[in-house]
A and B are shown apart, each in its own frame.
Chain A
Amino acid sequence: MQTNIILAGVGGQGILSIAAVIDHAALQSGLIIRQTEVHGMSQRGGSVQSHLRISNREIYSDLIAEGTANLILSVEPHEALRYLPYLAPEGRVITSTNPFINIENYPAMDDILSELHRTNRPVLVNAAELALEAGHARTSNMVMLGAAAPYIDIAVEQLESAIEELFHIKGGDIVAINIKAFRKGQKLSQTQETEK
């Protein structure tokens, strides 16, 4: 088993928290992990990506090779498209549909959606809405993690306990809201899958 995930978004959107949860859950499941981070100049409102690889055998490269990503998990729809060369032929794009517009020439949303629909059964999530339903706008990254959960070979219980681990210093309420957000994403993703 080997899962290659490209995490994408804009600096400050919380993709590193998604990575931290998957990393922790994978480690607890006894899997091998490599997960790159992006620091430095790209933090400030720029595009950020993380390559995350989990496997039950040795992983050599920290970077994912082109055409071999099982998932592109993006918290921003335009950013999801930037990494399409990495996507495996049967790979899936799971993205939030909420645009983060901090540039003047941000493409038309219809164009973005039509490009996303050209990929293999994309999972499109209104993460902002589900996050608010869960209790806080800042949990949209956990909504997206939930949406990706059915496609990651890690038990849901492990992912949820990693969320708890990550947020417990911020208090029980915050943990509960994030778990709720995670489950909302997961449910939506499962519904979309059965509808298809």
Chain B
Amino acid sequence: MGKKLLLGAEAIALGALDAGISGVYAYPGTPSTEITEYIQKNNADRETPVRSSWSANEKTAYEAAFGMSYAGKRSLVCMKHVGLNVAADAFINSAITGVNGGLVIAVADDPSMHSSQNEQDSRVYGKFAMVPVLEPSSQQDLYNATIEAFDLSESVQLPVLLRLTTRLAHSRAGVNRTTARIQNTLNAVYAPERFVLIPHHARQQYNLLLSIQKKLEILSEQSWLNRLIPGLGRNGVIAFGIAFNYVMETRQAFNLNFPVLQIGQYPLPRKLIATFFESCDTVLIAEEGYPVYEELLRGYLENGKVKGRLDGTLPRAGELNADIIAKGLGIEQKKVRQIPDIVVNRPPALCKGCGHRDLYEALNSVMGSFTEHHVFSDIGCYTLGALEPFNAIHTCIDMGASITMAKGAADAGLRPAVAVIGDSTFTHSGMTGLLDAINDRSPLTVIIADNDTTAMTGGQQSSATGSKLVEICRGLGVEEHHIRKIVPLKSQLEINMTVLRDEIIYDGVSVVIAQRECIETATRKKRNLAART
């Protein structure tokens, strides 16, 4: 069998399939989306199909994956780093109960915030939950480590966190495959003493989790993901995850021979680290993300040997690369060409013909007549409404925050209070906030920009669109005649402005659903249809 060309994200997907998962659960989020998409695309011809459709959010995804594990089968759950904030409650507590079938959570972090609102480091969550964390540095290692992660999860009965970052998730390389394993059989266990987390059980389970930490450390000592690359001299580098690649690239490019300790499995292998420290006078800590382990190894009172992000040897924020590592190692910087002064930025913009454009045009015209014209918004393509030429929205914090922030602002007396949220974001985390507003009679207008898909991440199936959204709003208690539908088209501008104005001045909870299919998915459908006929 020849090598397959796979993105890092796809290497995880294939690894999980070959490890015999029975289900993958996920909510789309860059750079993690391709894991689930790969499984969806490569599922049709499988003897035993893998459950793989999109979940409403990361928490529902995690809990469902956990339920599959409870039933004895292997499951994978995938998300981007900020998605783990949403799933954190389930994640942390599943470490207390432990798992039955192998449960692996693949989390893709986004240092440098290529498509995210922060660069939080998921290894902190792994440490917080006290579960094993794997952080391979190449596509092949990702494939192999994913398979092993399931075995590890079943052997220590804990969820295993597989951490990767944007660069590896979205980089292709040839990957060799091993033999696929068959799925686990159904094997649900009655173990309320583990899975019913009343305080009495929880204390016992927590003690169990604490007691196996030493074992996890020993497993790290033995793991192939943690290894020494011997070298000369007493200035060493500990390279974590993908940082290993940049360190080795620099070592190769400049013909250097310093010792490197590669770390790809946590908790840290204490002995390996201690021995390495003894053999070195200085140790550069290269971590992609937060200086999580640099801080630990440096110690509050500084041990004097450590260099890294915290003393300015490496930049405190942002993604690493070989140039940054070379600079950190004191290698003289070569002169390179500069970007010519005439080069200007080409900021992302809403697509030509996108319905959000017409929605914002109408909304801006209406909001212009109010002294206070704050618009609370959310995460999706429509966030681009914050940029020129629209400048239409004033907040974007986290999934669902548009509605709840508008509610709080309305409670404070802000009039009007307007929220703009997409269909997929609404079902992810907007519905509960709308219920709060109804129960509290907070006067606000929620505009659901329904483009019939999760567009920003490439057009995945959205949990509720069209008439289903109307039913949800009605069910939550929005008054029938204050659930309005508009079609965001240039030709409808006048009528859309009228509807928006009427609902925005209404002193209660109203919802305006702006329904028009994403221009990207519509074009793609048309093209596929033409290709078939």
Contact = CB atoms under 8 A, between A and B. Distances in A.
Nearest to A43: B348
Interface in A12-39: 23-24, 27, 32-39
B252 A10 contact: no
Nearest to A35: B172
Contact of B336 (A38, A42, A59, A67): A67
A37 B170 contact: yes
Interface in B1-49: 2-3, 5, 7, 30-31, 33
Contacts of B343: 78, 81-82, 107
A85 interface: yes
Interface in B242-283: 242, 244-246, 248-249, 252-253
B340 A84 contact: yes
Contacts of B2: 27
B115 interface: yes
B338 A84 contact: yes
B334 interface: yes
A65 B349 contact: no
A161 interface: no
Interface string B351-368: 100000000000000000
A11 B346 CA distance: 10
Interface string A91-107: 00000000000110111
Contacts of B335: 67
A170 B528 CA distance: 10
Nearest to B34: A39
B80 to A, nearest CB: 10
A150 interface: no
A60 B248 CA distance: 6
25 contacts: A23-B172, A27-B5, A32-B173, A33-B173, A33-B174, A34-B171, A34-B172, A35-B172, A38-B114, A39-B115, A39-B458, A42-B115, A43-B348, A44-B349, A60-B245, A60-B249, A61-B321, A63-B246, A65-B249, A66-B323, A66-B336, A68-B253, A78-B343, A108-B342, A119-B337
A112 B344 CA distance: 11
Among the interface residues B7, B252, B335, B348, which one has the most CB atoms of the partner chain A within 10 A?
A: B348
Given A63-B321, A84-B339, A34 B173 contact: yes
A37 B30 contact: no
B368 to A, nearest CB: 23
B323 A81 contact: no
Interface of A: 10-11, 23-24, 27, 32-47, 59-63, 65-68, 78-79, 81-82, 84-87, 102-103, 105-108, 111-112, 115, 119, 170
B346 A102 contact: yes
Nearest to B346: A47
A115 B343 CA distance: 10
A27 B338 contact: no
Contacts of A63: 167, 246, 321-322
B334 A44 contact: no
Given A39-B115, A45-B348, 7 more contacts: A32-B174, A37-B172, A42-B115, A42-B348, A67-B334, A86-B336, A112-B342
A82 B339 contact: yes
Contacts of A81: 339-340, 342-343
A4 to B, nearest CB: 11
Contacts of A45: 346, 348-349, 351
A115 B336 contact: no
Contacts of A43: 348
Given A33-B174, A61-B321, A41 B3 contact: no
A39 B321 contact: no
Interface string B301-326: 00000000000000000000111001
